[in-house]
């Protein structure tokens, strides 16, 4: 299982996004949170800004769509150049059709779950996805405390992926930090989103390295 770090630019300085992306050049992905002020009570940016970010980002862009009607809007993020597009199970009308459409556009398709959404109704859909995103905060804002109640779901999802034999990544997002990443890795996550933990650090590259080491050590035992 290759561990990957995907810092969220939600905690970056939005007036200097190109420079902020350069600060995380050692990470695997740049996590971009798209919020529409309907699915979540916050508003960030849309496909034109993602297209601009893709052009300057030193690493691939991982979009996390916290929006209503992803069936209509998600393909635009593939067209914008994102390499991974995650939409939410709670918002999608036809998740299988949308995942297939995204894959046909050449991007990785991800399925996001809010803390109260179980994985079980979606287990038969694992072959349709490249990644499952288990939220460990209520989506909408950076800097919230990690919800330990989500750990059993991470564990169950990892077990289901392992028994399926599929190469589906398991991303964890929300409150991931030096204090919580080991718990996530131990439960089976392999892609770690961290916003405030990375952008709140003076040395973002050093923090990415530290998070990677902690996750790897937790996986080793």
- Active site members: 33, 173
| Dihedrals phi, psi of 120, to nearest 5 degrees | -55, -45
The nearer residue to ligand DX5, 6 or 157, going by C-beta atoms, is 6
- Tokens at 79, concatenated: 């067209």
Q: Which of 135, 74, 134, 142 is nearest to 107 (CA)?
A: 74
Q: Is 201 helix (H, G, I), strand (E, B) or coil?
A: coil
In the shown chain, the binding pattern of residues 191 to 220 toward ligand DX5, with x for contact by CB under 6 A and - for none, equals: --xxxxx-----------------------
| 175 part of the interface to ligand DX5, by CB under 6 A | yes
Smallest distance, ligand DX5 to C-beta of residue 63, A: 11
User: Applying CB under 6 A, which part among 21-29, 69-77, 141-149, 156-164 lies near ligand DX5?
Assistant: 141-149
Of the candidates 45, 56, 58, the one whose C-alpha atom is nearest the C-alpha of residue 208 is 58
Residues 49-68, mask of contacts with ligand DX5 (x by CB under 6 A): ---------------x----
Task: Retrieve residue 73's tokens.
Answer: 């809007």
Measured between its terminal Cα atoms, the distance across the chain in Å is 14
Structure-token pair, residue 100: 């297939």
Residue nearest to Zn ion as judged by C-beta position: 64
**Which two tokens mark 110?**
């991800």
Q: Which is nearer to ligand DX5, 109 or 113 (CB)?
A: 113
C-beta closer to ligand DX5: residue 96 or 205:
205
Cβ-Cβ contacts under 8 Å for 127 (sequence gap 6 or more): 164, 166
Residue 110, interface with ligand DX5 (CB under 6 A)? no
Site string for ligand DX5, 65-104 (x = CB under 6 A): ----------------------------------------
Backbone angles phi, psi at 194, to 5 degrees: -145, 120
User: Could you list the residues that contact Zn ion (CB under 5 A)?
Assistant: 33, 64, 173
């Amino acid at each position: 299982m290759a561990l990957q770090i995907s810092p969220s630019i939600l905690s970056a300085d939005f007036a200097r996004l190109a420079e902020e992306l350069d600060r995380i050049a050692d990470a695997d992905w740049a996590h971009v949170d798209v919020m529409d002020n309907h699915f979540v009570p916050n508003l960030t940016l849309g496909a034109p800004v993602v297209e601009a970010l893709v052009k300057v980002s030193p690493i691939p862009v991982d979009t996390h769509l916290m929006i209503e009607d992803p069936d209509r809007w998600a393909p635009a993020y593939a067209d914008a150049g994102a390499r991974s597009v995650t939409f939410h199970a709670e918002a999608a009308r036809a998740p299988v059709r949308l995942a297939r459409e995204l894959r046909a556009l050449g991007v990785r398709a991800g399925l996001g779950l809010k803390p109260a959404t179980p994985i079980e109704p979606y287990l038969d859909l694992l072959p349709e996805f490249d990644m499952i995103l288990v939220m460990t905060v209520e989506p909408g804002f950076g800097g919230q405390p990690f919800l330990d109640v989500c750990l059993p779901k991470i564990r169950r999802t990892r077990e289901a992926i392992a028994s399926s034999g599929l190469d589906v990544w398991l991303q964890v997002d929300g409150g991931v930090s030096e204090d919580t990443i080991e718990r996530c890795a131990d439960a089976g996550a392999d892609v770690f989103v961290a916003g405030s933990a990375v952008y709140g650090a003076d040395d973002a590259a050093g923090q990415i390295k530290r998070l990677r080491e902690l996750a790897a050590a937790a996986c080793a035992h």
